[in-house]
Amino acid sequence: MAEAASAAGAPRASRLDRRKARTRQALIDAAVRLIAEGRGDRASIQEITEAADVGFGSFYNHFDSKEQLFQAAAEEVLERWGQMIDRASAGISDPAELFAVGTRITGRLGWTHPDIAGFLTGTGLDALDIPGGLAPRALRDIQAGRAAGRFSVPDAEIALSAAAGGLLGLLRVHQRHPGRIDEAAVDQLAEALLRLLGVPAPEAARLAALGLPETGNW
Amino acid sequence: MAEAASAAGAPRASRLDRRKARTRQALIDAAVRLIAEGRGDRASIQEITEAADVGFGSFYNHFDSKEQLFQAAAEEVLERWGQMIDRASAGISDPAELFAVGTRITGRLGWTHPDIAGFLTGTGLDALDIPGGLAPRALRDIQAGRAAGRFSVPDAEIALSAAAGGLLGLLRVHQRHPGRIDEAAVDQLAEALLRLLGVPAPEAARLAALGLPETGNW
DNA sequence: CTTGTAATAGACTATCAGTCATGATGAATG
DNA sequence: CATTCATCATGACTGATAGTCTATTACAAG
């Protein structure tokens, strides 16, 4: 997103640019915080700018609307989430295993990163439409799995939506009934989703029980 | 929903009651239409009352807020949907078969009843929270299936959410790419969801291919 | 130091949710 | 049939919030 320097241009970034970036980031951080707190997009722009300690008018220097801010905030959160999964799945090439790892890490967000989990349940299935989110990557995995004959599901997008629904359901149950969801429950969901994708049951069980790599804190 | 007549009461319903009911219904119909059009709850109350050809102030004689109206509209649509599935599943007792029928009829809504389909995709997973909706029934089916040893999924609520996600995904794909979803695709989703629930693959394929009863127009 | 540009900021306007007082409709009663 | 009363319908009113506009401030360049 950084503006390209003009062809013959100078280094093209200092102070002013940093100030601008700082303001923008303050707004995004405030939005992430508010969403995670469950205030969803019900927070007023005044509330947001106040939380970001920024003048009201500044908001519109960076975003055209509240929705646009929340979209940017969503992309940021999903980006971190994606990196977390990338780290955990480094070296894995089997699409089914990749899918299992992604599912299990996401399900664990409920207690490892409640803020992200809250964010996801707050946005619902709309999270699938967020560009740069995890959806494109998961979609790629599913399609790769189909191409490799590992999955037999007919439509990748539908399967993705089902997987997202399952994960969101799990996170929601966790929020509403703390303690009812544990690692075993997450692994069982991953197993069930693999079966949905057409992986034979015994193989699904095996994939959902593999050791899970460390993810780090972010 | 008709008001019960008081015990010793007269017929207790005329003109005034009908007028009231008509106004209320006009508002609900307008809301259903707007949601199906994808305007979601972004429609202003003025827009709604205008679409219903009702005075602005009348709105608050019937509903406390826009959310309440949308909830009533949702219950109405889901009620019709539920009755449609009830008719189609009369005489079926196997939970797995019931689930398959419900899934396949719902998936077919995309072309048999685009208004309901639009409504469902418009509300997203929140449809699961609508009281009186189909969720409680589907949940019951899933739990019955677990009790009968027919399903092996650990948490019924999570499974329900995954199923809803799959169906919503299918309906969304149908809306965005008309013609990409046909009856075979719906049946394959039903099959996949049965596998997710723990039904052995061959049995899932059989259940998803059974003859589907006529549902009637409503 | 001067000048120009880009970001900040809060006062201003339009729109929307929700309230309230008034008017219209029809039921009950003599 | 006329009168009275209750209930619903209605749109003008109020407070709040999204989004605009212009003055001010911070910085960079010469």
How does pLDDT run across A160-183, given as a tens digit for each residue? 999 999 999 999 999 999 899 999
* Average pLDDT across chain A, whole number: 87
Residue A11: which nucleotide is closest by CA–C1'?
D28
Do residues B90 and B163 both lie within one domain?
A: yes
Do residues B79 and B57 both lie within one domain?
A: no
Do residues B53 and B161 both lie within one domain?
A: no
Task: Residue A170: name the closest of B159, B152, B215 by CA.
Answer: B159
Do residues B84 and B191 both lie within one domain?
A: yes
CA distance B17 to B2: 10
CB contact under 8 A, A192 and B192: no
Residues of A in contact with B180 (CB under 8 A): 155
Nearest CB neighbour to B195, from listed A180, A189, A196:
A196
The answer as to whether A164 is a domain residue is yes
Classify residue B205 as exposed, middle or buried by CB count within 10 Å of its CB (0-12, 13-18, 19+): middle
**Chain B, window 117-146: residues with a beta carbon less than 8 angstroms from a chain A beta carbon:** 124-126, 128
Region B54-72 average pLDDT: 94
* Angle (nearest 5°) at CA A34 between A29 and A37: 125
Nearest CB neighbour to A168, from listed B161, B169, B196:
B161
pLDDT of residue A217: 58
pLDDT of residue B212 exceeding 80: yes
Tell me how close the Cα of B111 comes to any Cα of chain A, in angstroms: 17
pLDDT of residue A13: 58
CB contact under 8 A, A165 and B166: yes
Do residues B56 and B93 both lie within one domain?
A: no
pLDDT of residue B11: 40
Region B171-190 average pLDDT: 94
Do residues A20 and A112 both lie within one domain?
A: no
The answer as to whether A26 is a domain residue is yes
Do residues B57 and B97 both lie within one domain?
A: no
The answer as to whether B113 is a domain residue is yes
Task: Residue B102: name the closest of B90, B92, B115, B89 by CA.
Answer: B89
pLDDT band at B2 (very low <50, low <70, confident <90, very high): very low
Give distance CA A17 / C1' C1 (Å): 24
B182 close to A (CB below 8 A): no
List the CATH number of the domain containing A43.
Answer: 1.10.10
Region A50-77 average pLDDT: 91
Residues packed against strand D, CB within 7 Å: A 10, 14-16, 19, 44-46, 56-57, 59-60, 64-66; B 16, 19-20, 22-23, 54-58, 60-62
Nucleotides of D under 7 A from a protein CB: 7-12, 16-22, 26-29
Nearest CB neighbour to A196, from listed B157, B184, B192:
B192
The answer as to whether A7 is a domain residue is no
Domain boundaries, position B107: 71-207
Tell me how close the Cα of B58 comes to any Cα of chain A, in angstroms: 26
The answer to whether the beta carbons of residues A153 and B194 sit under 8 Å apart is no
List the CATH number of the domain containing A154.
Answer: 1.10.357.10
pLDDT band at B5 (very low <50, low <70, confident <90, very high): very low
DSSP label at residue B8: T
Do residues B141 and B201 both lie within one domain?
A: yes
The answer as to whether B5 is a domain residue is no
Q: What percent of chain A has pLDDT over 70?
A: 91
Residue B12: which nucleotide is closest by CA–C1'?
C27
Give distance CA A49 / C1' C11 (Å): 16
Q: What percent of chain B has pLDDT over 70?
A: 92
The answer as to whether A82 is a domain residue is yes
Do residues B197 and B101 both lie within one domain?
A: yes
Do residues A96 and A202 both lie within one domain?
A: yes
Do residues A52 and A79 both lie within one domain?
A: no
DSSP string, A93-160: --HHHHHHHHHHHHHHHHHH-HHHHHHHHHHGGGGGG-TTSSHHHHHHHHHHHHHTTS---S-HHHHH
Q: Name the domain count of chain B.
A: 2
Do residues B59 and B75 both lie within one domain?
A: no
The answer as to whether B185 is a domain residue is yes
pLDDT of residue A4: 37
The answer to whether the beta carbons of residues B192 and A153 sit under 8 Å apart is yes
pLDDT of residue A30 exceeding 80: yes
Residues packed against strand C, CB within 7 Å: A 16-17, 19-20, 22-23, 54-58, 60-62; B 10, 14-16, 19, 44-46, 56-57, 60, 64-66
CA distance A96 to A93: 9
The answer as to whether A11 is a domain residue is no
A25 close to B (CB below 8 A): no
